[in-house]
Amino acid sequence: MRFQKKPILLNRAIFIRRPLQATALTTLTTLIHRFPAEGTYEVFIRREGSLIHRAPVQVADGGVFQINIDMAGAFDSTYALAPTGALGFFAGSGEAAYTVTIDRITGKERATVLDSAAGIPAGDLFAVTLVRPGRYRVTDPANKIDGIIHVDMPVVEKREPREARAARTAPRARFRTDLPTAVTIGRGEMKPKEVKILAGQTVVFECAVASSLRVEPLDDAPKAHSADAAPRGKLRRTFGKAGSGDTTKG
Amino acid sequence: MAHMTVAARETVVQRAMKVLTDNFVFEKSDDQDHGALTTGYTVKCHLEGGTIDFRADNTVEIKELDLKWDTLEVRLGLDIPAVCVGGGCLGPFCLPRTCIFDGDPDVSIAPDFAALVAQEVSIIGRVIPRYFDVDNPPALNALCQLVRNQLVANGTIEPFDRDEWQLFLDPETIDLDLFDFPDIIGDLIEDSLTELVEDLIPGGVVRDLILAIIGGVGDVIRAVLDIGDDFDEWLSDIFNISFGLGDFILTALADFLGHCIPVFRLPDPFEIMPATPQGLIPVAVPIRNVVARVDATELVVQADIGA
């Protein structure tokens, strides 16, 4: 039998263990900015401090409700949003950190309505997708926020034997990553204070107050399941750690 | 009443069948792109065995003709679907998905099942006469022309260089066993594809997460291939239906027997007295109204003589 395979090109940024924060948007973070008022705006996107994109945003009837912008991808030259619509900023790949600024333009006047480097404005949403299992701490000193996110590894389905497959009448239930969990950030409180999700799922922080959230992994993250598994083709048995032996005679 | 009657036993048709089994080779290769799935094959087969039976209903039956595969290679290629994290909506707002790998990873296998698949052919046909006008020969397909040229070149059959009556075994029905791959082949393919896909995925958290999202490699392969429970049934279906190989083989056989190689040839004019050493020229008579029929014991050819 002849075999061929074209290797997987891994999006390594997904698996980097680092703090996630709104002030430096990276892969696995999303900032959703709402536009409550109609008008003309201009968006600026910077990568590692350098301006990489600048475009007008029109908020008026006839626009779409939401546009998600991949800051690591190609950009549109202009954006048209409906009143109360939103722009979502995320990085689909790469390890760079991004910041976003949005100005409202009224005549010759400009007013900054979003400066992600300074934090998340009240009313916006900040989302983090957590991939590595373990515990994560959520902090925002200005709002006295201190919460925990527990990330568990979903169960890997075993391969079904032929008979079991044949006997099943409905498809097997699948693990889904597209079930985000909502958390509200208010002054001095995060509701709920502890969140449990499965790896690959997202926590969305609805910021009722301006905030500067930071989500960082704690060092007590468990090892991945497969780390203890035997290499392919090997049989491995794991024993308890050896003690220090007898310390006294008799 | 016919002026001439020739009776022949089954050996005449047996000689024709030997030409068939010695020279019929079916060879084909194709690839089909179905998006996330590519399928293809390279096959080559020949015929062996076979018995002839003259039947009382004016037909000839060839049975127990074995279709032997020299090559039965199937190629299966999978594009592994994107595996992404995140996504979903919260109220009116929808979150982007971030994909774990980009590019277009894929795997392919090309097993050869020639030794594991056996099929049988049976043919029922009538012997029919056709007139061959050397100045206006019938159009033949390329394969048939090639076979004819080879058989003439190696002396197996006489050249087609004169007017003549040709008797063909014109198939009425040809039965070919459907492709039926045993369970073991389905398992072999599924195991090979699973192992290849798993080898592509890095270990540790990455592997656990990918496997959790896709729900196991076997399920992904099933989803991409759009198959139900049994791989072997799916494989049989693509050979029988998607590839349509059976139809190609039946058409090739029908052409070979019905239009390509005659079982019996009668020159026109037919020489009834050869030239003599004394200088007398040969005597030949034109043959007309040729009719062939078969009964349980012999093939009978009748014709009229004259312009």
pLDDT of residue B243: 84
Strands (E), B19-163: 25-33, 37-55, 59-79, 84-86, 89-90, 93-94, 97-99, 101-102, 106-110, 119-132
Q: Which of A11, A15, A155 sits opposite B205 (nearest CB)?
A: A15
Length of chain B: 307
Q: What is the 3-state secondary structure (H, E, C) of A101-150?
A: EEEEEECCEEEEEEECCCCECCCCEEEEECCCCEEEEEEEHHHCEEEEEE
Strands (E), chain A: 2-6, 9-10, 20-21, 29-34, 39-47, 50-70, 79-90, 98-106, 109-115, 125-129, 134-140, 145-152, 181-186, 189-191, 194-198, 202-207, 214-217
Beta bridge mates, B172: none
Comparing alpha-carbon positions, the chain A residue that sits nearest to B210 is A156
Measured in whole angstroms, the distance separating CA A109 from the mean position of its chain's CA atoms is 35
Contacts of A179 in chain B (CB under 8 A): 88
The string of DSSP codes covering A188-203 is TEEESSEEEEETT-EE
Residues A216-224: what's their mean pLDDT?
Answer: 67
CA distance A109 to A111: 7
CA distance B32 to A16: 40
Q: How many beta carbons lie within 10 A of that of residue A182, not counting itself?
A: 16
CA distance B29 to B92: 52
Query: Which H/E stretch holds residue B6?
Result: strand B4-8
A221 and chain B in contact, CB less than 8 A: no
Query: Is A233's pLDDT higher than 60?
Result: no
Candidate from A132-141, A234-243, B237-246 with smallest mean pLDDT: A234-243
Q: Which two tokens stand for residue B119?
A: 């099929």
pLDDT of residue B225: 73
**Residue ranges in chain B whose pLDDT is less than 50:** none
Answer whether A11 sits within 8 Å of B205, measured CB to CB: no
- Minimum distance, in Å, between the CA of residue B110 and any CA atom of chain A: 5
Measured in whole angstroms, the distance separating CA B271 from the mean position of its chain's CA atoms is 40
3-state secondary structure of B52: strand
Q: Which two tokens stand for residue B217?
A: 């490699």
**Nearest Cα to Cα of residue B255 among B177, B178, B145:** B145
A54 phi, psi to nearest 5 deg: -145, 125
Query: Which H/E stretch holds residue A163?
Result: helix A162-167
Confidence category of residue A227, pLDDT binned at 50, 70, 90: very low
Q: How many beta carbons lie within 10 A of that of residue B47, not counting itself?
A: 22
**Nearest Cα to Cα of residue B253 among B53, B71, B49, B45:** B45
Q: How many beta carbons lie within 10 A of that of residue A143, not counting itself?
A: 21
pLDDT of residue B229: 64
Query: Which H/E stretch holds residue A36?
Result: none
Cβ-based burial of B274 (10 A; exposed 0-12, middle 13-18, buried ≥19): exposed
Answer whether B85 sits within 8 Å of A177, measured CB to CB: yes
pLDDT of residue A197: 95
CA distance B20 to B146: 14
pLDDT of residue A235: 53
Is the Cβ–Cβ distance between B236 and B186 less than 8 Å?
A: no
Answer whether B88 sits within 8 Å of A179, measured CB to CB: yes
Query: Is A6's pLDDT higher than 90?
Result: no
3-state secondary structure of A213: coil
3-state secondary structure of A237: coil
Contacts of A153 in chain B (CB under 8 A): 205, 208-209, 212
User: Between chain A and chain B, how many beta carbons pairs sit less than 8 Å apart?
Assistant: 184
Give the dihedral of Cα atoms B307, B281, B130, B22; nearest 10 deg. 170
Write the single-letter amino acid at B273: M
Query: Is A236's pLDDT higher than 60?
Result: no
pLDDT of residue A242: 47
Write the single-letter amino acid at A74: A
Q: How many beta carbons lie within 10 A of that of residue A194, not counting itself?
A: 12
Angle at CA of residue B104, ends B99 and B105, nearest 5°: 95
Q: Which of B98, B104, B112 sits opposite A28 (nearest CB)?
A: B98
pLDDT of residue A130: 94
Q: What is the DSSP letter of A227?
A: G
What is the Cα gyration radius of chain B?
A: 29
B-facing residues of A in 160-179 (CB < 8 A) are: 160, 162, 165-166, 172, 174-179
3-state secondary structure of B241: helix
Confidence category of residue A53, pLDDT binned at 50, 70, 90: very high
- Give the HSE-up count for residue B303: Cα atoms under 13 Å, Cβ half-sphere: 25
Query: Is A3's pLDDT higher than 80?
Result: no
Could you read off the pLDDT of B200-210 as tens digits, one per residue? 777 777 778 88
Higher pLDDT, A245 or A106: A106
B-facing residues of A in 8-67 (CB < 8 A) are: 8-11, 14-15, 27-28, 30, 32, 65-66
Answer whether A159 sits within 8 Å of B216, measured CB to CB: yes
Residues A54-60: what's their mean pLDDT?
Answer: 97
Confidence category of residue A247, pLDDT binned at 50, 70, 90: very low
Write the single-letter amino acid at A62: G
Q: Which two tokens stand for residue B61?
A: 């039956």
Q: First-to-last CA distance in chain A?
A: 64
B223 and chain A in contact, CB less than 8 A: no
CA distance B100 to B104: 12
Could you read off the pLDDT of A161-199 as tens digits, one per residue? 667 766 767 666 778 899 999 999 998 899 999 999 999
Higher pLDDT, B2 or A216: A216
A68 and chain B in contact, CB less than 8 A: yes
